[in-house]
Chains A and B, each alone.
Chain A
């Protein structure tokens, strides 16, 4: 079972990555993530707010069908967060390959 703290960090980066593909809004983000990542609408919102507080993304309002939608956009800081995450995991992946290779030899 994935450690909750770790899971939260992973989800944050997933959301940022989704926004790298283009500015998006709540419902669309959930739809984009859903096939690969298990996330509910209620889980997404606190993540969005935390990312906004840390400066990883910005929000603006756009008009759509006569109502206002909140659109989220990734910032430079957010992109930096993703590349740091990827670098950390590349290192982790090497160790994972080593461990997996070790099990084969009995």
Chain B
């Protein structure tokens, strides 16, 4: 496509963002295309090289901080007319409690998972202490009956082994949750990206 088609498609893709942001992005790409044309490329070659609009738009929106995305997604197209504001205010007793409930549930659910992980580590600690206690017991037992001592030692080693496994499991759970939080954050962000269909040749 040529330069103006490219810029138009880019503007449509970024329509959700504040005008100042859009202008900055367009200025950057406009300058790029001009420089490439000066370098000898045609406008078509330049836009080819810049890549597909979808990719650029996605990159820009993903890089945009969440609060800005939320603000601009929630904003009704056409702006805040009196009617829109009136509906918003009248509907307040309905959407506000729902919003609060949703947030509360979400935070609770997330907190529960972290608590489970903390419990896992507490279990590891308990197992570890048991293993140590059994080893001390083994030493004491040696002075009385070697046979009983060996049995105690056996249990100590078994518990120690389980402690290590439980620890590895707890660490794995922690890593999984941290990774999962990242994906969750990205997922939430994409909720606020307005999906505009931008048609271009």
Residues of A within 8 A of B (CB): 25-28, 40-43, 45-46, 65, 67, 69-70
Contact = CB atoms under 8 A, between A and B. Distances in A.
Interface residues of B, number: 19
Contacts of B49: 41
B25 A45 contact: yes
Interface in B23-49: 25, 27-29, 31-32, 34-36, 38-39, 49
B31 A69 contact: yes
Given A26-B28, A70-B27, A42 B56 contact: yes
Contacts of B55: 42
Interface of A is mostly: helix
Contacts, number: 36
Nearest to B57: A42
A85 B62 CA distance: 27
A42 B13 CA distance: 15
22 contacts: A26-B28, A26-B31, A26-B32, A26-B35, A27-B32, A27-B35, A27-B36, A28-B35, A41-B29, A41-B32, A41-B50, A42-B56, A42-B59, A43-B59, A45-B25, A45-B28, A46-B59, A46-B60, A46-B63, A67-B31, A67-B34, A70-B31
A75 B153 CA distance: 66
Contact of B51 (A28, A40, A46, A69): A40
A97 to B, nearest CB: 30
